[in-house]
Amino acid sequence: MKSYRKELWFHLPQRMGFVNMTAEVEKCLRESGVREGLCLVNAMHITASVFINDDEGGLHQDYARWLEELAPHEPVYSYLHNRTGEDNGDAHLKRQVMGREVVVAVTDGKLDFGPWEQIFYGEFDGRRRKRVLVKIIGE
Amino acid sequence: MKSYRKELWFHLPQRMGFVNMTAEVEKCLRESGVREGLCLVNAMHITASVFINDDEGGLHQDYARWLEELAPHEPVYSYLHNRTGEDNGDAHLKRQVMGREVVVAVTDGKLDFGPWEQIFYGEFDGRRRKRVLVKIIGE
Amino acid sequence: MKSYRKELWFHLPQRMGFVNMTAEVEKCLRESGVREGLCLVNAMHITASVFINDDEGGLHQDYARWLEELAPHEPVYSYLHNRTGEDNGDAHLKRQVMGREVVVAVTDGKLDFGPWEQIFYGEFDGRRRKRVLVKIIGE
């Protein structure tokens, strides 16, 4: 069994945003040499997500507006978590809706995707560097 | 390490619906010959889900009503995504709540489930054929 | 390939609550002897979650309040599922928001975590014993 690990770094200038990271994960897969197996991609931070959906800018704005309705940033005092001195209580909720991780099948050395599947980093408390873990196991 | 891959097809006549696919995944597992490992089941389309919950019709109606409240289909113009000519902006949101994939333990050649766990295909933009990927790795 | 399986039991006295189970999963990992691989941790019951987030009591209260807004327990008759005699329709919805499972990378014999990642059991229909499955595969 082969095993591969890499950390990818992201630094978004705004609080919330989405970044297509598919090409970077594909590069990891090529480096791994794995032909058949599973590829785990997860946020290492708890106010960020990794998810699979469409690379369409309007949709990403829809996500941002919807998540802001489901878990508004303001008023920050409405979150007990923010009594710790943080202002990111909402980000911990948004991340649960969008998810922490994806597991992708590796078949014949490729990410085994449907026609529109793309991997995104979802940031809900940006303006600092954060990491995503790529772990690939297989043969 | 053994590796197995299969695509399952679904075609729901309505926009939203849920289909129990547990027996089909169990058939895949038998075909794979894997006794110990992991079984990934994921929607290959980004307006559909694979999730695990209860095979109870009332609950599925509850899910449908609740998802429609969280991310209503109408008015379609309220989604920027629909400016692309699509009318499925809501389906991309509903799918995030219900999830893209499940990973199930394989133990002694069986899906290692609790008493009520069943695998469902969740459709949020139906009336066309869509695929689910089953990938099993192990020994 | 090594393979390891263990069931962990939880019994929360209240309907909803969150328990940090990271140390128990770490103990499983040590028992498994796996150095490189994947660790699946999933609720075996469909009104409970396993998720990764912050071990901060205020945040957990925020989660509880938010989930109660998204899928209120009362009135119980508002869920068709409760016509079966159950009163846990809301719990099946809350669990979908928080998720069934996490998959964690195993690197050098450790859970490969970011600085604040902790694994939680999320209970939405407590006051009885329930199980979580830990399955580890690798080498």
- What residues form DSSP beta bridges with B138? B2, B37
Inter-chain contact B5–A105, Cβ cutoff 8 Å? yes
Contact A53 B96 (CB under 8 A): yes
**Residue A113 pLDDT class (50, 70, 90 cuts):** very high
Q: Is B28 on the interface with A (CB under 8 A)?
A: no
**Residue A30: other Cβ atoms inside 10 A:** 10
Put simply, the answer to whether B54 touches C92 (Cβ < 8 Å) is yes
pLDDT digits (tens, 9 = 90+) for A63-100: 999 999 999 999 999 999 999 999 999 999 999 999 99
Find which of B39, B51, B100 to mutate to test the A interface (most A CBs within 10 Å of its CB).
Answer: B100
Token representation of residue A72: 């508004």
Minimal C-alpha gap between C137 and chain B (Å):
7
The two structure tokens encoding residue B80: 């920027």
Q: Which amino acid is at B87?
A: D
CB atoms within 10 A of CB C76: 14
Q: Token pair of A67, please?
A: 């998540």
> Each residue of A11-49: pLDDT tens digit?
999 999 999 999 999 999 999 999 999 999 999 999 999
Residue of B nearest to C44 (CA): B114
CB-CB neighbors (< 8 A) of A72 in chain C: none
Rounded Cα distance, B15 and C23, in Å = 44
Output the six-digit token pair for B121.
């295909």
In angstroms, the CA C81 to CA C85 distance is: 8
Task: Tell me how far apart the alpha carbons of residues A91 and A123 are, in angstroms, rounded to a whole number.
Answer: 8
Q: Confirm if A3 and A139 have CB atoms less than 8 A apart.
A: no
Q: What is the pTM of this model?
A: 0.98
Element (H, E) at C122: strand C118-123
Segment C36-40 shows an average pLDDT of 98
User: Which of C52, C60, C107, C137 should be substituted to probe chain A, the one whose Cβ sees the most A Cβ atoms within 10 Å?
Assistant: C52
Q: How confident is the model at residue B51 (pLDDT cuts 50, 70, 90)?
A: very high
> Is the minimum CB–CB distance between A97 and chain B shorter than 8 Å?
yes
Beta bridge partners of B7: B133
Q: In this predicted model, what pLDDT tens digit does every residue of C65-122 receive, in sequence order? A: 999 999 999 999 999 999 999 999 999 999 999 999 999 999 999 999 999 999 999 9
List the alpha helices (DSSP H) in B47-121. Answer: 57-70, 89-98
**Residues of B with Cβ-Cβ distance to A18 under 8 angstroms:** none
Mean pLDDT (chain C) is 98
